[in-house]
Every structure is written in structure tokens, then in C-alpha cells.
Amino acid sequence: MKTEIWILLGSIATAALSMPVYRLSSEGRQRGRDASGRGGSFFLGYFVRDWFYWAFRPCFSLPVALGLSPLVFNLLGVLFGVAAGVALAMGQLPWAGLYVLLSGLADVIDGQVARARNLASPAGAFLDSTLDRYSETAVFLGAGWFYPSQAANLLVVAALAGSLLVSYTRARGESLGVLCKYGVLQRAERMLLMALGTILDPTLSSAMGEPTGTALLWVLGVMAAGTLGTSVFRTIWITRRLGDGAE
């Protein structure tokens, strides 16, 4: 078994063993608590997100102690996103997955640092969400370069469009006074899917007797269907709420 698989399995085992410890802690006993401040999601509920913030607390505390700016991690998130896209384009899929995970971690840290240092602001929130889109786009561009066929490229474009629309429908609705967090494959879920898909692809594709990239293509198909479906649902849901408010 390849090294990256052992690392991934070790990480999953460590996470699984730490969850009961968190559940028994004073923080973990507060069910329904949303430590992230960003809400739950269809797949990643409050417990998983709160556990993540508990487990990775040292990653948040150190930058605060060093007085680092949230902007540092905004830019790191984009840098890792671009690195993931380049690695994908070069066919280095496991490395791309690692960079996707690092980009996601940087994205989480910047928000924690901003809140801990009382630096949260509308400008910072705008920059954070906008740079997230740049990072995500870079990853999909790398995927588009990696696949030579038009059919695969169409799937990549569909997954990218759906991902951007999921974020846009929520942001536009929120700007009009309607907050909609419903649906599947929000950003954290998309990043996790892309990371797992790229890391596991060489092993899974080889096991299926298919060329490298086949397993990831299935993941992109799931992402395209899930994100486009969520964006359509949010469009209808928000439109109805706005219509009800106008009556």
C-alpha cells in the first residue's frame, strides 16, 4: 500500500480515537454547540465541526500569540490552492490533495485569528470569501488541464460552476436579508471530497484497472450533481422567502 494511504488511514484513525475524548470533555458535552460560528451542514454537523476546532486549537492559538494577521492566512489559502491546481495539472494527485487540505486549514485559521484578535470586519469577510473562490477556481483549472478529453473537461466545468453557484446563491440571498445554509456540498465538504479524491485516486483507479484520474472523475461527477442541485434548491427556496416577505 502506498505511503499516502497509510498516512491517510493513520489520520482517520487518530481522528476517530480523539472524538470520544472530545465528547467526554466539558466542551463536547454541550450538544448542539457551534464553536465554529459558521453553522453546520448536511454531512458535517455541529459535532464534527466543533471537534475539528477543539482538535486543531494549537493551530489557532500560535498565530494569535505571534500576532500574525488574518491576511497572512488568506494569502496562504490562495497559495496552497494554486499549488493544488499546479500539482493536479502535473498529474501529482496525492500532492494536490495535501495542498487542498492545507488551503482549507489556512482558511479556517484566518477566521479564528480575526475573531481572537478582534480584527473581524466587513472588509475582511469580503476578502476571505472572495479569495476562497480564487483558490477553489485554481484547483478546478488544474483538474481541467489534467484531463485531456472534452467530456471530462465538461464535468470539471460543471463542478466548478456548481461550487461557485452554491456560494453565490447564499451570499446573494444573505445580502437581501434571507440566509440559506441548506443543501449539500458546502465548501468544507467540497474540499474534503476533492482532497480524498485526489489522494486516493492512484490507488483506487489502479485497483479498478483504470488509468489515473478515473476515481477522481467519479468524485467530480458527485460534486457537479450535488452542487448544481444545491444551487437550484437555494435559488427556489430564497426566491420563495423573498416573495413571501413582499406580500
Report the 3 state secondary structure along 36-78.
Answer: CCCCCCCCCCHHHHHHHHHHCHHHHHHHHHCCCCHHHHHHHHH
Domains assigned to the chain: 28-246 (1.20.120.1760)
State the pLDDT at residue 1: 47
Note the pLDDT tens digit of each residue in 117-146: 888 888 888 998 899 999 999 999 999 999
Let me know how long the chain is: 247
165: amino acid identity, one letter: L
With a pLDDT cut of 90, the percent of the chain lying above it is: 51
Q: How far apart are CA 203 and CA 193, in angstroms?
A: 16
Q: Provide the sign of the torsion angle of the four alpha carbons 23, 187, 213, 137, taken in this order.
A: negative
Label residue 30 by pLDDT band (50, 70, 90). low
